[in-house]
Amino acid sequence: MGHLSAGPSGGAVSKQRVMKVVVRLDNRVSAFQLSAAQLSALRERFPEHDFIRATSDEELLRELPGAHAALVWQFEPGWYALAPELSFVATPAAGREKVARDPAGRVRSVHGSFHGKIMAETLLGMMLFWSRRFDLALRDRRERRWERDQFSGTRRLAGQLAMIVGYGPLGRECARQLKGAGMRVAGIKRDHAVDPGPADAVFPASLLPGVLRDADHVIVTLPSDTGSDHLFDDRAFAAMRKSAYFYNLGRGNAVDETALLRALEAGTIAGAFLDVFEREPLPQDSPLWTAPNLEFLPHVSAASREYLDLWLDELAPELTRLGAPEPPSTP
């Protein structure tokens, strides 16, 4: 609770507490690592907080006693007991894999939900790659060929149907981007009784095999903790059109990669673009490296120089409320 002092007219005025915020946001990908400039901007924006940067897990553990908040990529279950004053643990990550919940239920976990702003643009790029057949252009350049007629069969994205499997915040952001390109969009969601906007319709997951046959593009944006292991298997790929393309920007566990490989080799689907895999990094002996009509990114669909700036803007209300004085109680 905030401390009280006498105001100009003698009334009680609440004062902001100084709150300790431990920061451990180092990452091998520079887009995901908090810069010195970003940390300095945090301190200027919230001068009432004491931001302590930890450059190792050992430093983090030493700073947790007395900490009121932690900004991290990873947090183990046993660490909560070291921080009896902790209010919340915040992470830029959308996935729940690396920040454990407090076993005692005392401390909140705050996950980023801004990723769709970046990932929707990545998805659009993936879809344009296949729709405009940039794969043929890259192949012909390597072979020094000047072939124009092969592009006569390309189609605009406008009017095509995109099926988004996992119609949560990320799926909705993707839908906004695709609707802007003139596409028809349908979502797949377990709890389908929701406002479909911006998609045209939302279907229950139980109808998945049946509705897949209508889609020109099938996009997976599922998290890893929804019981969706190998949702896309031989049966699912067989239900898709031979002219359809498949994309995964969620988590790799949703796709049976052996089934996907069979579908690509047999021409069951036209192609695929992946950002995530069952094992990461992708093993050197994985047959996906040489699979036909497959392109992929190394789990970077959200990578952008604006990544942490977007997250810090999203986190600002939490930091504003941290240690905010409670209004004086009325006698």
Give the E-state strand segments of the chain in sequence order.
Answer: 3-6, 12-15, 19-24, 49-53, 69-72, 88-91, 108-111, 161-165, 184-189, 201-204, 217-220, 245-248, 271-274, 294-296
Q: Domain check: are 234 and 257 in the same one?
A: yes
Residue 328, in any domain of the structure: no
For residue 101, count CB atoms less than 10 angstroms from its CB and return exposed for 0-12, middle for 13-18, buried for 19 or more.
Answer: middle
Residue 327, in any domain of the structure: no
pTM of this structure:
0.91
Confidence of residue 145 (pLDDT cuts 50, 70, 90): very high
The string of pLDDT tens digits covering residues 312-322 is: 999 999 999 99
Handedness of CA 88, 93, 94, 95 (dihedral sign): negative
Residue 299 is a catalytic residue = yes
Residue 192 is a catalytic residue = no
Q: Domain check: are 311 and 215 in the same one?
A: no
Q: Domain check: are 8 and 77 in the same one?
A: yes
Q: In angstroms, what is the C-alpha Rg of the chain?
A: 24
Q: What is the pLDDT of residue 5?
A: 36
Residue 44, in any domain of the structure: yes
Residue 326, in any domain of the structure: no
Residue 132, in any domain of the structure: yes
Q: Domain check: are 226 and 102 in the same one?
A: no
The string of pLDDT tens digits covering residues 272-299 is: 999 999 999 999 999 999 999 999 999 9
Q: What is the pLDDT of residue 158?
A: 98
Specify the CATH number for the domain of residue 31. 3.40.50.720
Q: Domain check: are 263 and 313 in the same one?
A: no
CA–CA distance, 328 with 330 (Å, rounded to integer): 6
Candidate list 299, 305, 314, 321, residue with the active-site label: 299
Candidate list 49, 251, 257, 278, residue with the active-site label: 251
Residue 258, in any domain of the structure: yes
Residue 280 is a catalytic residue = yes
Residue 14, in any domain of the structure: yes
Strand partners, 4: 14
20 CB-near residues (< 8 Å, 6+ apart): 49, 50, 52, 63, 66, 67, 68, 69
| 271-274/245-248 β-pairing | parallel
Q: Domain check: are 221 and 286 in the same one?
A: yes
Q: Domain check: are 56 and 168 in the same one?
A: no
Residue 232: give the domain boundaries.
116-296
CA of residue 92 relative to chain centroid, distance: 9
Q: Domain check: are 243 and 102 in the same one?
A: no
Candidate list 85, 147, 265, 280, residue with the active-site label: 280
Q: Domain check: are 190 and 141 in the same one?
A: yes
Residue 329, in any domain of the structure: no
As for how many domains the chain has, the answer is 2
